[in-house]
Amino acid sequence: MDRILSKVWNSRYGKYLLPLSFCVGNLINVIFYYLGLAFQDNIARQTGFVIGNVLFASVAFLALLSTLRFGHLKLKSLLPLGLVLLFFAGCYIRALIRFGFTGTWTHHAGQFVFFSFPAFCAGVYMAQRRYEAAFFEGLEQFGLFAAPAALIYFNGAVFNCNPFNYGRDLGIINYMSFSYTLMPFLLAMVFQFLDGKPFSLFGRTLRHPQRLRCILIALFWIAIIASGTRGTYFCVVGFCICLVFSSCLHRESRQRSAILSAAMTFVLCFNIFVYAPQGFGTWRMASFLQGVSKGELVTSKEDPKVSDKIDDLVKADGNQQITNLPNAPAEPNTPSEPDAPSQEDSTEENIQIGSRGTLFKLAVKEFQKLPITGIGPMGYTVKYGMYPHNIPLELLCETGLAGFITLMLLIFWAVINLLRSGWKQKYVRYFFLFLTAYMVQANISGDLWYFSPLLCALGYGLALPNEKCETVPVPGTPAKDVATFMDRA
């Protein structure tokens, strides 16, 4: 076993582990799209997706074991890392006891095992191997594989000829998933552009790297704008604000970061307020901005009577789904057939809830009902058929103050480590800024129980050494890899 772990620890491909944790599932779907197998869901696409993610999860777990065996993790790092895993394991056990093997539990557990836990492992591995610079290089290289898909999507949006879901999806990759697929590549290329680094692919250095990055940044950003995913808009704009602030604070790349951030913000505002091709989804911002002007958070069409039923919904039993019922008839008052059971007795009202404002209100009231222990992990989704789209509120209403304080202390610990190391180490700071986009996502569309960026940030932040330390190769490391270790140290 030591021999296997030694190979994993010393592998030259280990630097791609963390970049893949942000994009492996999405890239698999994109590759199948290129092969013509993701226009509609099918067994070939499903099988390839499952196999690819299982293999990645297995490698990530081996990377964690190799870190525990050959890394420099001390007790003060092992303790909080163990608490993170105990917290999520305890919550999943509590949800299983409370609700049983529901579709919600199995879905969340599968997502956690094959997406969140591998991201946690990759974060711990990268913190010990100090692969921060390689992280952005890897994402930039993977971004080239997604560029044709972005070009296809952009073309379909400009000419309004995308045939999937009213021009918003790319085969089975829906508009929201597609925008979040492109986001990490976009952010990584921004950092690489600021540093002006060479652009390498398969060992070959590409010509005119800065021009190529400008083209790809523009392509990815416009494709994201075309998707109409408001969450990604806020994530990228929030990232740009933090980037400019950090550049001014540390007095590095101030002009480039300010110009690039201003240009990206201008393009977004122009497409929202001035002009956008017919196939662009920027029209989705209209209802949101209209609601904000009235002091309301409206993100989707919803029955106006829902607001009057919030208190009754909160009082209802939480052991079964009471809203967003998938099988309930749309018109419950339709006359029944002769000799059929009465609809009044056999049918529930199908209350559809999707607006963020309503979801947030329900989460706050559920917390107020059980402020100490909460309604139980995943209880909100079990009851309402949809998660709150806000991780702090989800944590409060489902685990109460007991769970909220526990996890927030661990997050605070990780953030302090990141800020302390990032103040002196540029690429640690870059990785923290990269995560700020996902911090925004966590507050507008993230789901706590399988939010991979959160687990990655916890793994990396809690395992990060307080000071820059040398990584010593284990016995049996090839000479060429020893040189790599010395360069990195």
Residue-wise pLDDT for 205-233, tens only, equals 888 999 999 999 999 999 999 999 999 99
| Lowest mean pLDDT segment, chosen from 13-27, 164-178, 288-302, 325-339 | 325-339
Say if CB 162 and CB 156 are below 8 A apart: yes
Give the type of residue at 18: L
Burial class for 406, CB neighbours closer than 10 Å (0-12, 13-18, 19+): middle
Say which residue the tokens 């058929």 belong to. Answer: 385
Cα-based distances in Å from 58 to 21, 70, 142, 356, 428: 12, 18, 21, 36, 26
Query: For the residues 291-319, what does the mean pLDDT come to?
Result: 85
Say if CB 60 and CB 122 are below 8 A apart: yes
Average pLDDT, the chain: 89
pLDDT for 338 equals: 40
| Number of Cβ within a 10 Å radius of residue 310 | 15
Which of 215, 218, 223 is CA-nearest to residue 170?
Answer: 223
Say if CB 364 and CB 436 are below 8 A apart: no
Which of 86, 31, 87, 132 is CA-nearest to residue 422?
Answer: 132
Residue-wise pLDDT for 106-163, tens only, equals 999 999 999 999 999 999 999 999 999 999 999 999 999 999 999 999 999 999 998 8
Residue 205: phi and psi, rounded to 5, are -85, 125
pLDDT for 318 equals: 85
Residue-wise pLDDT for 257-277, tens only, equals 999 999 999 999 999 999 999
| Cα atoms found within 13 Å of the Cα of residue 384, Cβ hemisphere only | 30
Say if CB 119 and CB 21 are below 8 A apart: yes
Q: Give the pair of three-digit tokens for residue 57.
A: 């999860």
Give dist(CA 161, CA 155) in Å, integer.
Answer: 8
Residues 6 or more apart in contact with residue 475 via CB below 8 angstroms: 6
pLDDT for 317 equals: 86
Burial class for 290, CB neighbours closer than 10 Å (0-12, 13-18, 19+): exposed
Q: Give pTM, 2 decimals.
A: 0.90
Q: Give the pair of three-digit tokens for residue 367.
A: 């917390």
Burial class for 278, CB neighbours closer than 10 Å (0-12, 13-18, 19+): exposed
Give the confidence band of 313 by pLDDT, cuts at 50, 70, 90: very high
Give the confidence band of 320 by pLDDT, cuts at 50, 70, 90: confident
Give dist(CA 93, CA 346) in Å, integer.
Answer: 33
Say if CB 347 and CB 332 are below 8 A apart: yes
- Counting residues of the chain whose pLDDT is more than 70, the rounded percentage is 90
